[in-house]
Chain A
């Protein structure tokens, strides 16, 4: 399960990103996850919570936007949903030179910051 490594990478990058003036805690992180990115959303959500513990992202929500995989065949200009398991040879001409238009994203799209001061109470019961 490499979702923990991925969650740690997300936390590291968000912590490294510039905090906007007047911002408080990180409220949520938005991630694009392609159909072919090889990431299990539940496992990532579970790992993210653990990875955030004790960091500036403690308690932040992870919002996942799935991105469907689509490919296009240059020679016949056909585009198609690859499906899962993906069909990456052209369903029309059988061509082997298609391009992937989307589906491998594993990208932090945005971070949502609470307005300072953080609304979260310091002694929070869990």
Chain B
């Protein structure tokens, strides 16, 4: 015998609430967060090095946090730009959460910062589930990773406000099919902008910085289909989760979900 109590709570409600508070707090001080996601080795750090250096040259107050399981190598590289940089060591955790980020910002983030870039842990699955209070979520893929990357990691690409292709200087050498890549992005996240960059040759220099500044200054940010909720409650029926902390930024997701087996249903009676 057991009694069933309706709960109806989003599993990540606590993270979402933290992210919501963080976003509001940062907005009141004029700071926007840019969350960068990609697989390991796709060139987040190289791209960020250039964008931070450019920001410094243009006198735009920016800062960067970089997360890795181990080593401070990326922070050392990013610090060469001369902007405030902090390394987060996750001790094996595969993603950042909003509360962790808030803790790292406390007492460190310079008050005048307009853009805070977060280089998430190199991983296209887990970080996608966690809203960090960002204004802009950017997913990167290098030309070496295959045109079907968006299809393999639909949640990461599906929740992006901007997609950045990196290492275009070697696109020919690896026969990167830009058209196919764009078609795959469009299938998962129709309407999202795709920017081509090469940190080595300078293609797309400043594109990320410009998009980030525009978003920070209130320009409309792309709304992915995955985050668009139906305005017709009857369509969603009872399966639509309650979204108490509505944000335009993603709340959930990840990549490789497959159909769950319902398994044995608990003997419940209400």
Q: What is A's interface to B at a CB cutoff of 8 Å?
A: 1-2, 5-6, 9-10, 12-14, 17-18, 20, 23, 27-28, 30-41, 45, 61, 63-67, 71-72, 79, 84-89, 95-102, 104-115
Contacts and interface: CB of A to CB of B under 8 A. Distances in A.
A109 to B, nearest CB: 6
A12 B97 CA distance: 16
B266 A111 contact: no
Contacts, number: 214
B11 to A, nearest CB: 5
B171 interface: no
Interface residues of B, number: 67
B239 A32 contact: yes
Contacts of B13: 13
A35 B257 contact: yes
Contacts of A66: 259-262
B230 interface: yes
A30 to B, nearest CB: 7
Contact of A105 (B5, B15, B239, B268): B239
Contacts of B236: 101-102
A63 B261 CA distance: 10
B213 interface: no
Contact of B3 (A5, A98, A115): A115
Interface-central residue, A61, A85, A95, by most chain B CB under 10 Å = A85
A98 to B, nearest CB: 5
